[in-house]
Structure 1
């Protein structure tokens, strides 16, 4: 069904088409009509299913119809756990709403608060905020939330995991009780249910797929390798497989920087991103990765939910996450918007317990195998049984793109360093 059949305004439909989308995803098909009716919504869907548009489009439609003749004031508030995700949502609002007269502002920490105060004084219709920075504005009396008509809690599970529950409750306590509230989450935990019960009224529950399973378009590969050989295996894959846009996850900031440095020394164009970077550094890294300047970006779990880049060919878990939920969040960075992608996990003997927990969480037994073609010289790793994958090999030919060819060109000139 085309977007126009939802009854969205013509300027909004024009904006959607201008971004390149022609048909809604499953979460959009269910959430948009309910949101347009004014219903409260609980949306449970994995990352990469198009849930941002599922709440952004109804908000833009509602506010654009009521905009004429009204003084500009904050009428929609979107809370999100990370700075990067706030910027991404703001970008989506500006893209879809390019033919409307609505203004949006992303409010987050790590940058000067004075510029945000100036923009708020000029007037905006939609604020996308991280809880911590929004609390700063509330304490300074630099933001007025009494006119909020629509509240969205995006990535609610992650906000709770990051310890924002008290901030969220404090913020919501300052909003009008008569409002529409939408909550979106990759998982529905007991804590998320409790939050929803306090803040939503007779919500429509929309669940897309199994809430704990990675989306079906992602092919998962688990490779047994001891810690001392992980970098060798990573370089082997980049050297021999068609990896044109790779997101590598490390458990620590120190580990992320170390991996990035070693990749650079080997001639790979790489960058790291984590909470220890300034906002400008993080944004430059994301923009460079998105444009294809960097072939590899190394990130920590704190940055995982904020990374929304189309066309990531591979996600590599350099370390097995200690929290099973993070595995789903990590691999969800590839295979987004119903595209295909590959997720690779390196597991050492010390990390097998974490891998078992991941398997329990997603309801699937994950078995490590050796990587064919890689030399496990000087490794004490026992020979595991080779598990046959029912899905295509990672050596399949990936479609070329300008970005892919650019990454390969920058890397090919340094291949001799691996020999």
Structure 2
């Protein structure tokens, strides 16, 4: 897979940002993600995991807003991580009309429910807040295509692993992508439950 196989707005953005070609990690995973494979992407900081995530989501959603329910859900560790990822997404969504929404604890939950109800394509959320909104019928996950965890090391603190594990119980069919610097043995539970036929891609 090459950048030429991405949607045109992404190609233009990557060109404007000075990308001459794919990073080695992107060569390993972008075509697999496009093909719908469930992946554990294990790679060090600075290898391009976040950029790969962003490119994959925008391309998978065809750069187009669609109805009201989100089609991509990305779990992050806290408010700052959510805002940072949102800012990075906005650098790559130029030329598209994709809507991005952040859900985190330090914000009024009723207001978040109302804002999500108005329509969004990509939700970046902390696990605890996402689950609270979901159980209050504040978010529709029926149209979800991608469920992602960024920098998944945080899952093994403060009960986040259990919080994220609850979400797939409410999703019919979805592609799962886990980005981390290491593979934890507890991920094997996900391989046995909802990440069927998943692949582990290790890059160092």
TM-score by length of 1: 0.46
> Match of 1:105?
101
Deviations 1:263-301 (A, max 9, x none): xxxxxxxxxxxxxxxxxxxxxxxxxxxxxxxxxxxxxxx
Match of 1:42 among 40, 43, 63: 40
Paired with 2:98 and 2:9, the residues of 1 have a C-alpha distance of 11
- Residue of structure 2 aligned with 1:55, choices 53, 60, 80: 53
Q: Give the C-alpha shift of residue 17 in structure 1.
A: 3.1
Aligned-pair distance for 1:20?
4.3
Larger Rg: 1
Q: Does structure 1 conserve the Cα–Cα contact (< 8 Å) formed by 2:82 and 2:126?
A: yes
Q: State how 1:133-152 maps to structure 2 within 5 Å.
A: 133-152=129-148
Question: Does 2:188 match 1:193?
Answer: yes
- Deviation for aligned residue 1:91: 1.6
When the two chains are superposed, the root-mean-square deviation of aligned CA atoms in Å is: 2.0
Higher RCO structure (Cα 8 Å, ≥6 apart): 2
SS in 2 for 1:181: strand
Cα deviation, residue 181, structure 1: 1.0
Q: Which runs of 5+ in 1 are unaligned?
A: 210-419
1:204 Cα offset (Å): 2.6
> For 1:302-323, what per-residue CA distance to the aligned partner results, in whole angstroms no more than 9, with x for missing partners?
xxxxxxxxxxxxxxxxxxxxxx
CA distance in 1, matches of 2:58, 2:130: 21
Do the aligned partners of 2:82 and 2:124 also contact (CA within 8 Å) in 1?
Answer: yes
Task: Give the TM-score of the pair, scaled to structure 2.
Answer: 0.90
Q: How far 1:93 sits from its partner (Å)?
A: 1.8
Indicate the SS of the match to 1:72. coil
- The DSSP-based 3-state class of the residue aligned with 1:166 is helix
Residue 225 of structure 1: aligned partner: none
Cα distance change, pair 24–183 in 1 and its aligned pair in 2 (3 A): same
What do residues 118-161 of structure 1 show as CA deviations (whole Å, max 9, x unaligned)?
Answer: 32122000101110111121132111111101111222232123
CA distance in 1, matches of 2:199, 2:186: 18
- Measure the CA separation in 2 of the matches of 1:170 and 1:77: 14
Asked if the contact 2:68/2:117 (under 8 Å) is kept, the reply is no
Contact 1:157 1:192 in 2 (8 A): no
Runs of 4 or more above 4 Å deviation:
none
Cα offsets for 1:91-125 (capped at 9, x unmatched): 22221111111111111111222442232122000
Alignment CA distance shift 1:197-1:56 (3 Å): farther
1:201-221 deviation digits (Å, cap 9, x = unpaired): 212321111xxxxxxxxxxxx
Matched residue of 2:62: which SS?
A: helix
Tell me how many residue pairs correspond in the alignment: 204
| Other structure's SS at 2:84 match | helix
**1:183 equivalent in structure 2:** 178
